[in-house]
Structure 1
């Protein structure tokens, strides 16, 4: 029976920088004997998340079981990218016990869940659950939380605004599709602010969904895996802003790559990135940098003006050193000015 049982799949969604990759690292490190496989979908062609996870070095998820898809949002490329990736994982021996899918921070999860209703997939896989990771501090600051009064005021001032802010639509769609919501980075908030954020999120969801506060994605894996939601059979309970559309695109967002020369100081680089994010309304900056005289590669992660850095591993023998950053923002942000500021 084990050979014909459906393999459970957990879809991990969440806005840019919410902590999806950190959560997955936690799951890989505490797999409790499960053979795991992982599909990663990134927005941009620098595989930062894939690099981080492939260097975890855990036996539960060997590097061959990690598949990176960078040809566009996974929810838009189901037939071209997702199906071949799934078929490749199912052909492996031994087959994985559980598959994790990390979506792009700009992805809508519901179209991906719908793919599991396809006959070729339904017989083999089931969506054990959709987990939405939320940056609690960002939401508490109002960056991605819905504010109907504010939107109404904006509409009154600007008659051209006849739809919701696309960032809020993405954020809300991720919450509405979730079976479990993680209020990550909860340690950055007071108890009062955390409870207020929890209440605001609960008010946006028309069904009972557990909302759990976490720090660095730390939560018992037995809670994260084994939700048994069969989400592909429960699509009507997961409303979306885009239910009336055949598909969607990401024309509201833009991304580009900046090559960096070696930097003299890691902290100074983080300060510069924070300044650039503030000045140019950058949503996300992530990538790698070379610090002159250091044998380790620097990993940089930024959400808005909140930037962190750490040395993640030594440069490998023969590896071409150098920095590359993925910059993500809303359509129309100034690439030339951002690149110039990063080069100073």
Structure 2
């Protein structure tokens, strides 16, 4: 691996805290020049904008590349390979590359792409880090509870396979070199240990599993794993790969999910807006909300990050000269969500 640029792939389900963890990493990079490749699900580049607002010298806006053309695992040849090639052609190469996948991505095809000619000789996968929302798994939202699943099967003859969310949860863990149980402060020690056991049971390898609060981890914990994962990823197959090998018909797509951008007016009462968003999320089974809001009288934009009923807001940077002050939120939900009704409810909540 001597001379190769190390790359860390950070994956995890929607809202697990990947972007927050990367922001903490950048703020404590100890002088490393880091390039970021960010793949989002949705048309509004929220994660990239949040990281560009950090103001960190070792990771300028020019070092952040956003891929919004679709899931990176489905567009490796079209998006990822050209992006990596451009990074490697730069006069001042980065010391480390960090790739944040969308919450719906399979890590396996992405890691396998590091074996492509021209990439393998210059870059190695330092490690795949899977971020898990420990509180959500503890609540059973993304856990693989076989007893509950069997009970549902008994009650509903149409339920004869695992849901895509459970398969995705397992595949992201199966690909990992390290799993971070994030939001550990939201559950007690016993529940955290149950989550740890659940996660460990998804892999046939002994996984390094650590926990974190607000994505805060020492940089030397996340970087420097030296796993060379591209040499091992063929042994960490996803459900899609295993079903393909068995001859089963199985397409990897994201038809089960849908996203759109909701635009609203200024938010005069942030607390009331958050309360309104909670009603929207509960009433329409929204998986994820994220974006920026205009608050009159405030020079800075308000960031909104919502996972289920947990909503975080904070001001990140001033609005730039010439930048349109508006409220724009990416809404991610299951297929056939009522976009018009949800957008109307969000606009009404803004006041």
TM-score scaled by structure 1? Answer: 0.96
Map of 2:247 onto structure 1 = none
1:294-309 aligned at under 5 Å gives the runs: 294-309=298-313
Map of 1:54 onto structure 2 = 52
1:1-344 aligned at under 5 Å gives the runs: 5-243=3-241, 244-245=243-244, 248-344=252-348
CA distance in 1, matches of 2:183, 2:198: 17
RMSD of the TM alignment (CA)?
1.5
- Displacement of 1:249 in angstroms is 1.2
Runs of 4+ in 1 over 6 A off after TM superposition: none
Task: Determine helix, strand or coil for the equivalent of 1:183.
Answer: strand
Give the number of aligned pairs.
Answer: 342
Task: Determine helix, strand or coil for the equivalent of 2:297.
Answer: coil
Cα deviation, 1:5-48, whole Å, max 9, x if unaligned, reads 21111000011111101111111111122211000000011111
Task: Determine helix, strand or coil for the equivalent of 1:76.
Answer: coil
Question: Relative to structure 2, which stretch is displaced further, 311-320 or 155-164?
Answer: 155-164
- Displacement of 1:302 in angstroms is 0.2
- Displacement of 1:224 in angstroms is 0.8
- Displacement of 1:247 in angstroms is 6.2
Task: Determine helix, strand or coil for the equivalent of 2:239.
Answer: coil
- Displacement of 1:153 in angstroms is 2.3
- Displacement of 1:239 in angstroms is 2.9
